[in-house]
Structure 1
Amino acid sequence: MTTEPVIDDLDDESAEPVRPRRKGIYILPNLFTLGALFGGFYAIVMAMNGRFENACIGIFCAAVLDSLDGRVARMTNTQSAFGEQMDSLSDMVSFGAAPALIVYEWALKGLGKAGWIAAFVYCACAALRLARFNTNIGIVDKRYFQGLPSPAAAALVIGFVWVMDDAGFKGVSQIDWLAWLALGFTLYAGLTMVTNVPFYSFKDVSFKRTVPFIVIVLIALGIALINVHPPMVLFALFVVYGLSGYVVYAVKKSKGSPVSVIATSTDEPDEEGLHR
């Protein structure tokens, strides 16, 4: 007599499905990102309390930390999808919502509807710029940003606030000419973020390569120059950078060179409008 193999159905039914192993979170680069997020949040709180100098310092500190988290991740080989998403969310708070709220509280609220519309336009353009950056990240020329990067746009707006506050202008919402000038800076920075104008990214600068001794001397002189009058020097630097993209665009256009920093996608025709 032959016997059939007995199948242990009970064991099969009780066996739990194998779950994918959860990935941990790299702490080092995300600490920089959290620091940048704190800088933006701190700036909002300071602006709500009328301490605009502290608010401006918070945004500039956030910009410094934001510039470091990606480089730290690449240097330590700790890049992750979580870190990329965290960075975008932090940027939206620190360089999108925070500057819009600070400049509104400082000057734009005195302009009524025009003031809060300008603040919203800036905030919306920051969100659109970050979304487009995440969409085009695989096809963009690494040497350039497509449009003014959000930290530079925030520095442009907040730098203006810092310079005027340092010059002694208080109650700016009651000074019409200065409030309208702030509105102009806010709209310029916001709309420039969503243009296709190329801005140099400095991503091809490597910290692993040797440099001539004079470069270290120039860096030391730059630090000394900033310390002479931080509000004015930093604001001037970002004004120059905020105009540099249009200069590059004009030069390339006059030479007949391509001005787009990305290649047109052929695989995603539905997103063609994002790539032009």
Structure 2
Amino acid sequence: MSSEHSNNDADNTANVKAKKAVRAKPAKGIYVLPNLFTTAGLFAGFYAIMQARLGHFEAASLAIYVAMVMDILDGRLARLTNTQSAFGSEYDSLSDMVSFGVAPAMVLFEFALSELGRFGSLVAFVYIACAALRLARFNVATVNDKSHFIGMPSPGAAAIMASIVWVSVDYDIDPSGISVPLAILMLATALAMVSNVKFRSFKDVNFRDQMPFVGLIVGVMVVALIYWDPPMAFLFCGLGYLLSGTILYVVKKLRRQNKSPTE
């Protein structure tokens, strides 16, 4: 009897483990869900290019922001549903190349850089090349510090480009008069993507934790600013993000240089 009971217990344990394994393994069809959001982001980048060619620059700028939202959602969904895969990672990078590399460059070129002739074409190409290098380096890098990115992330750079176009359209700014400053800013943003400057990723921020009352006030002020003037608010946020990483990098370099002679 004891051997029979032991065999039954072993069978029951094996059945429980098998059921848990089946539950833990996601269905194959669920892998479609995050890839659908990636495809939506890819389409948003394609849509931005097409709208820029038609002269609808505000729609093109908004499409880049839609691609950013899709890029955030596809990664979150893949982690929540336990459907991360090598295919999804590569597909996401290819989608980012279109949405945050080619699309911003083409939108800026159609909007203002075409006024500069070959130089404008060169600036657009440099931006695309830097975005490709940024994504390639991110894919092969071994990440030890998840709280920071090495180099400005391509969605952040694309947000700056889209915000500039959106603000210019919203305030009726003549693009031919700002083509040179835009080209310089685009080159600076492109170089920031391939630099060794650290930019905060905010992946270590847990929004479920308690925050000080001042943090809540700051959040309310940001929402109010976005409501008051969305394109200008997004532009300030993007430029602030670019400058924050650059300024901190320069300050750390200066501190190291000041310490080295004394040591």
Instruction: Please report how far the alpha carbon of residue 178 of structure 1 lies from its aligned counterpart in structure 2 after TM superposition.
Output: 0.7
| Separation in structure 1 between the aligned mates of residue 216 and residue 250 of structure 2, nearest angstrom | 32
Q: Which residue of 2 aligns with 1:82?
A: 87
| Separation in structure 2 between the aligned mates of residue 243 and residue 71 of structure 1, nearest angstrom | 27
| Separation in structure 2 between the aligned mates of residue 178 and residue 198 of structure 1, nearest angstrom | 29
Contact 1:52 1:106 (8 Å CA) reproduced? yes
Q: Which residue of 1 aligns with 2:209?
A: 210
Secondary structure at the aligned position of 1:145 is classed as strand
Higher mean C-alpha deviation, range 103-112 or range 75-84: 75-84
Q: Which residue of 2 aligns with 1:116?
A: 121
**TM-score normalised by length of structure 2:** 0.81
In structure 2, list runs of 5 or more residues that go unmatched: 1-27, 258-263
In structure 1, list runs of 5 or more residues that go unmatched: 1-22, 258-276
Contact 1:125 1:194 (8 Å CA) reproduced? yes
| Separation in structure 1 between the aligned mates of residue 140 and residue 46 of structure 2, nearest angstrom | 26
Instruction: Please report how far the alpha carbon of residue 74 of structure 1 lies from its aligned counterpart in structure 2 after TM superposition.
Output: 1.8
Which residue identity is paired with 1:66? Answer: D
Q: Which residue of 2 aligns with 1:249?
A: 249
**Number of residue pairs the alignment of both structures matches:** 230
**TM-score normalised by length of structure 1:** 0.77
1:125 and 1:43, CA in 2 relative to 1: closer, same or farther beyond 3 A? same
Instruction: Please report how far the alpha carbon of residue 224 of structure 1 lies from its aligned counterpart in structure 2 after TM superposition.
Output: 3.0
Contact 1:154 1:189 (8 Å CA) reproduced? no
Q: Which residue of 2 aligns with 1:61?
A: 66
Secondary structure at the aligned position of 2:178 is classed as helix
Q: Which residue of 1 aligns with 2:171?
A: 167
| Separation in structure 1 between the aligned mates of residue 77 and residue 48 of structure 2, nearest angstrom | 24
Cα RMSD over matched residues?
2.1
Matched, 1:142 2:146: yes
CA-to-aligned-CA distance 1:67-104 (integer Å, 9 cap, x gap) = 23222222332211111111101100000000111100
Q: Which residue of 2 aligns with 1:234?
A: 234
Contact 2:101 2:158 (8 Å CA) reproduced? yes
1:77 and 1:220, CA in 2 relative to 1: closer, same or farther beyond 3 A? farther
Secondary structure at the aligned position of 1:210 is classed as coil
| Separation in structure 2 between the aligned mates of residue 237 and residue 29 of structure 1, nearest angstrom | 28
Which residue identity is paired with 1:244? Answer: S
CA-to-aligned-CA distance 1:35-55 (integer Å, 9 cap, x gap) = 211211111111011000010
Secondary structure at the aligned position of 2:199 is classed as strand
Contact 1:156 1:185 (8 Å CA) reproduced? no
